[in-house]
Amino acid sequence: MLHPPVEPGQYTSFAFTSRLIEAGVDGSVGSVGDAYDNALAESQIGIYKTELIRPEGPWRDVEHVELATLTWVDWFNHERTHESIDDLTPIQAEEVHYAARNGLIPTG
């Protein structure tokens, strides 16, 4: 009998948790114990898998995945526009946010 593959524990794995601790990052990005816990992280990891991991795989080794990930993150932040932030890149949206916050550009 064949069984569908089971996704490995992505967010609670020992290696993932250890890496978060090393980096000084909280494992939870939402409020703890409700349906929204980790929703942002899960959404971002889904985009990463859809745009990079699945289309470009299978991967030769971890080093190839790491290099491709660095390239993808740079592209995602500096070149990929996002409709939810007025078709800006994340870097551009952050610059606009801080400029408005510091009174350098008018708002509204």
Task: Please give the residue that has the higher pLDDT: either 8 or 72.
Answer: 72
Name the pLDDT band for 19 (thresholds 50, 70, 90): confident
Q: Computed from CA positions of residues 40, 43, 46, 52, in that sequence, does the dihedral angle turn out positive or negative? A: negative
Q: Give 28-62 pLDDT, tens digit per residue.
A: 655 566 666 677 778 889 999 999 999 998 999 99
| Phi and psi, residue 39, nearest 5° | -60, -40
97 token code pair: 């946010």
Answer whether the bond into residue 58 is a cis peptide, omega within 30°: yes
| Phi and psi, residue 82, nearest 5° | -125, 125
Report whether pLDDT(106) > 80.
no
- Read off the pTM: 0.62
* pLDDT score at 10: 47
